[in-house]
Amino acid sequence: MAIHGRFVSIALAMGAIIALTGCGRTPEVPIGAVNGLVTLDGQPLPEVTVIFDPKEGGRPSVARTDAEGHYVLNYSNRDKGAKIGSHEVQVFYQEEMEPTPASATRPKIPSRYNEKTELSYDVAEGNNEINIELSSK
C-alpha cells in the first residue's frame, strides 16, 4: 500500500512539472523569425544591442549585432524571433548605459533611436528581414 501511495505522489509531481514547464519547444505566443542589418549613415554598426518591444505588451526580443552589423532576434533562451505585431525598436551600445573609455571611439547613436526611440517595425508570421537604417543627421 505504501509503494502504491508513493508511486501516485511521484506521478502527480511529475505531471505538475510537465504542466508547468511545458513539454514542447513552442513559445506561449506566436512569434516570427527576425534578422537583418543595422547601419548608421550607411556603415554597419557592430556590437550594438537591438531591442524589439511589443507595443501591445509582452516580452521584448533582444539581439546583439556581429562584427558586420548583422543581428538575429532572440525571444527567449531557446526561441529565436519576436512576438507578431508592431514593435518599438531601440538600438544602443551597451556602454551607453555605463560609459567606458572605449565608447569614445565609436560613432554616437542619436537618442531618437534608443531612449527616445522613433523606430517602429512590424513583425509578421514566418521570416522577417528587417534592416535598420539609422542616420546621424
Tell me the one-letter amino acid at 29: V
Q: Where are the domains of the chain?
A: 31-134
> Please, are residues 54 and 86 in contact by the beta-carbon 8 Å criterion?
yes
For the stretch 27-39, pLDDT in tens is: 589 999 999 999 9
Q: Specify the range with the lowest mean pLDDT, choosing from 13-17, 102-106, 131-135.
A: 13-17
| Partner residues linked to 38 by β-bridges | 132
CATH number belonging to the domain at 31-134, selected among 2.60.40.10, 3.30.470.10, 2.40.40.20, 1.20.1050.10:
2.60.40.10
Residue 16 host element (H or E): helix 2-21
- pLDDT tens, residue by residue, 85-126: 999 999 999 865 555 555 566 778 989 999 899 999 999 999
